[in-house]
Structure 1
Amino acid sequence: MKGFYQTAGLVGWVFWTWLLMVPVFGMIMWLEVTHLNVYSIVSFILFVVLITYIFGRQKVTMEADGLRFRKLASIHSDYITYDEMSQIQFTKRTVIFSVRGEQYNYWLSPKFHQALKAYFETSDI
């Protein structure tokens, strides 16, 4: 099964805050000059392109023995087996787990979240 993910928690907040600075820059330039200018248009277009790229690129795949996370700016993907995962917690839209002492916190698409939760409820892991 395939789905989409976003980093959750503090890392996600910091990432999206910096990303939202792009249209804020465009709005400030628009208000300072008092008319729509090239800087505003370019920053708004850049924001839309970045958002489209981010949502299209960050995919997760549930495979037979693990999860494969496709990263934003890398040609490689992270593969985490179910055996490596410990301290698994599900919230309304997120999954939190630990792998080799490192904590992961992902916000998942609803169908993928339900499928992953059902898998862990029925498995012996």
Structure 2
Amino acid sequence: MRSYYQTGGLSGLVIWAWVLMIGLLALTLQLEFITFNVWTYLVASIFVVAVVFMVLRHKVELTDDYIHLKQILSFNRLSIRLDGIKHVQMTKHGIIFDYNDNSYDLLLTKKMRSAIEQKIGAKK
């Protein structure tokens, strides 16, 4: 099963704040120059590309034994064994867990969240 995810918690908030600052810069340039010029177009284009990149590069794939996370700037994926996941907390919109002394907070779709919950429940 494949879906998209977003980083949750404070780190996700910081990442999206940086992306939204690019949009704010585009808006400020538009208001400062009064006319839509090449600089406004360039920064607005960078903002749109950054938003699309942030949404479409965060992919999650659930197999029988693994959760594969494709991260933003990595061409490889992070593979997490389902039997190695510890301290699982199912939240309203995602999952928080520990794996190899790292803590992960993921915002998932309802379908993916319930599928992971079912797989983890079946393993334990």
Name the TM tier (shorter chain). Answer: over 0.9
> Aligned partner of 1:94: which letter?
G
Match of 1:93 in 2: 93
Offset of residue 23 of structure 1: 1.1
Structure 2 unaligned blocks of 5 or more: none
Match of 2:117 in 1: 117
Is the 2:25–2:43 Cα contact (8 Å) retained in structure 1? yes
Aligned to 2:17: 17
Shift of 1:124: 3.6
Using the TM superposition, give the Cα deviation of residue 109 of structure 1 relative to its aligned residue in structure 2, in angstroms: 1.8
CA distance in 2, matches of 1:31, 1:124: 56
Counting matched residue pairs gives 124
Distance 2:90 2:3 in 1: 16
Cα shift at 1:27: 0.8
Note the 1:19-98 alignment, pairs <5 A.
19-98=19-98
TM-score (norm 1): 0.92
Q: What is the aligned-residue RMSD (CA, Å)?
A: 1.2
Worse overlay, 24-33 or 49-58: 49-58
CA distance in 1, matches of 2:33, 2:44: 16
The TM-score normalised by the length of structure 2 is 0.93
Query: SS where residue 83 of structure 1 aligns?
Result: helix
Q: Runs in 1 of length 4+ with deviation above 2 angstroms?
A: 118-121
Secondary structure of residue in 1 paired with 2:10: helix
Q: Which residue of 2 aligns with 1:2?
A: 2
SS at structure 2 position matched to 1:32: helix
- Counting aligned pairs with the same residue, the percent is 28
Distance 2:81 2:71 in 1: 16
CA contact (8 A) 2:82 2:120 kept: no
What's the offset of the Cα at 1:64? Answer: 0.9
- CA offset digits 1:41-60 (Å, max 9, x no partner): 11111111121122221111
